[in-house]
Structure 1
Amino acid sequence: MSGALWDMIQLVGERARRNTVLLMDRDNVEVFYSKVSDLENFFYSLDAELEYVIRPEHTFAFQIQRACELSNACVSIIRTCFDYKNENRLWYPPPEGLTPWYCQPVVRKGIWSVGSVLLQLLNDTSRLDRTAKLELYNHLEALAEVLLEAYSGAVTAKIEREEEHKGLLNEYWERRDALLESLYQQVKEFEATYKDSIEGAEELNEEATMKITSHLLSIAKRHGCYKVMWTICCD
């Protein structure tokens, strides 16, 4: 393992080491780092330590590579949890009023920190070619999907427990709108770029754009982002 994910795991391990008694000598520290299993610590470190993994002095391409690597890790972890829970749902107690661990604030904050970096990189259009922009778009869309599901689960649990949830709901809506509006803006830019494509590829490009738009529309519909839904339908 190498790159941004390995750097983040070392930061997670260092935090765990500070919070526990290190029961091994220095020669075994790599084993300790590689055995870290507390996923909440991983998401905590994404929020608290991300600036040490993706630095302004890194080249733009290197920042993109690292952001995409961490985004992929977040999405893989959350989707694996979704799949495991669905496959073994009979083992779990009734979900009413329970907040799954992947809906906890520490997890949402970690995912949002990575999403914020992706948003920033994606908006720096002057330094992005079409391939890099599409790669960032795909990672941000996947990350947005799991983040919004986490917010939805957290809000649902609070409602079922009859707890105050206005602040959480407003945060959910704010981040939903920021993510989905930015994603749709990128779709519009893809369309504009495709119109300038070489003759013969236009039909294929339009098909690709429609596929992207359709998936984005389904996310907007699932999370009640009516502004983006309306804009897509009008366009």
Structure 2
Amino acid sequence: MTPAPDLIVKGKASIDGATLFAPLTLTLGAGQWTCLLGGSGVGKTTVLRLIAGLNTGAVFTGEIMASDGQPVTERVAYMAQDDLLLPWATVAQNVSLGARLRGEKPDLARRDRLIERMRLQEHLGKKPSELSGGQRQRVALARTLMEDRPIVLLDEPFSALDARTRADMQDLAAEALQGRTVLLVTHDPGEAARLGQSITVMTQHGLTPCNPPHAPAPRHVDDLETLATQGALLRMLREGAA
């Protein structure tokens, strides 16, 4: 994997002439987790998809730059809220899907290491319908890591999971994505307080930073500073929606 760069997203976006988000500057620190929160419809996912080079339906005026001056989109791995697993493919086939779609030979040794890292080795030949929700999300995370990209974009990937499985997946992702530049879009103040090394709340009017806890991520859910940050974020979200 090439070194993870800083990223800067600078600009504004509109849909059918109506402002989606006002001019903003979002900086993603190299090798850090940036958590982006905000109400529905403020443009969080649009920012994520702009970085990934995906269609957004919005008109964006601005620029997306990496600190090393190299192109961004080809260095991005994307993990969506839905696991998007192919229902007819096995765990092993889903993890190596990216290489197959590009017509490349998958690195099977790397694939098997990732499957073991995600504690999925006993499910190698299973189809998605035979897996639990948490297992499916671990397959999706393994597939994301299989791309070995320095920039990783996560669009509410754990929101559909129960509380215990969500916490387990947060821990696993934090360990597995060390050293990468990560943008996590989330509605969950608790998730941001646990994982964020930089935390920002987005409204239609701009961005407001929130100081993260001092403890290294992933933080304990009952840590007092983590709980205080969670509360501060909830207040900011409620004020932004008022």
Larger radius of gyration: 1
- TM superposition score normalised by structure 1: 0.27
Higher strand share: 2
- TM superposition score normalised by structure 2: 0.26
